[in-house]
Amino acid sequence: MILARAVDVSRHYGDTVALDHVSLDIAAGEIVGLLGPNGAGKSTLISLLTGVRKPSSGQVELLGADPRRPESRRHLGVTPQETGLPGTLRVGEVVDFVRAHYPDPLPRAELLSRFGISDLVRRQTGGLSGGQKRRVAVALAFAGRPKIVFLDEPTTGLDVEARRALWDGIRQFHAEGGTIVLTSHYLEEIEALARRAVVIGGGRVLVDDTVDAVRGLVAVRRVSLTSAVPLPALDGVTATDREGDRWHLLSPDADQLVRDLVTAGVTFTDLEIRPASLEEAFLRLLEEPCPA
Ligand X SMILES: Nc1ncnc2c1ncn2[C@@H]1O[C@H](COP(=O)(O)OP(=O)(O)OP(=O)(O)O)[C@@H](O)[C@H]1O
Could you say which of 13, 130, 229, 240 contacts ligand X (CB under 6 A)?
13
- Asked if 18 touches ligand X (CB under 6 A), the answer is yes
- Asked if 88 touches ligand X (CB under 6 A), the answer is no
Q: Tell me if 283 sits within 8 A of 230, measured CB to CB.
A: no
**Options 39-47, 159-167, 227-235, 265-273: segment touching ligand X (CB under 6 A):** 39-47
Integer Cα distance of 138 and 77 in angstroms: 9
- What minimum distance in Å lies between the beta carbon of 208 and ligand X? 16
Contacts of residue 154, defined as CB under 8 A and 6 or more positions apart, other chains included, come to: 79, 134, 138, 166, 170, 182, 184
Integer Cα distance of 273 and 254 in angstroms: 7
Could you say which of 10, 26, 31, 42 contacts ligand X (CB under 6 A)?
42
- Asked if 16 touches ligand X (CB under 6 A), the answer is yes
Burial label, 85 (beta-carbon count in 10 A; 0-12, 13-18, 19+): middle
**Options 13-21, 23-31, 124-132, 171-179: segment touching ligand X (CB under 6 A):** 13-21
Burial label, 184 (beta-carbon count in 10 A; 0-12, 13-18, 19+): buried
For ligand X, how many residues bind (rule: CB under 6 A)? Answer: 12
Contacts of residue 50, defined as CB under 8 A and 6 or more positions apart, other chains included, come to: 62, 67, 73, 76, 78, 150
Long-range Cβ pairs for the range 240-247 (8 Å, 24+): 246/270
Residue with smaller CB distance to ligand X, 39 or 87: 39
Q: Tell me if 64 sits within 8 A of 228, measured CB to CB.
A: no
The sign of the CA dihedral 279, 281, 285, 288 is positive
Could you say which of 39, 86, 126, 236 contacts ligand X (CB under 6 A)?
39
- What minimum distance in Å lies between the beta carbon of 111 and ligand X? 26
Contacts of residue 168, defined as CB under 8 A and 6 or more positions apart, other chains included, come to: 114, 115, 116
Integer Cα distance of 149 and 147 in angstroms: 7
Residue with smaller CB distance to ligand X, 43 or 50: 43
Residue with smaller CB distance to ligand X, 29 or 39: 39
Residue with smaller CB distance to ligand X, 44 or 125: 44
Could you say which of 36, 51, 55, 252 contacts ligand X (CB under 6 A)?
36
For the segment 204-243, give every residue that binds ligand X (CB under 6 A): none
**Options 38-46, 82-90, 103-111, 248-256: segment touching ligand X (CB under 6 A):** 38-46
- Asked if 38 touches ligand X (CB under 6 A), the answer is yes
- Asked if 44 touches ligand X (CB under 6 A), the answer is yes
Interface with ligand X by CB under 6 A: which residues? 13, 16, 18, 36, 38-44, 81
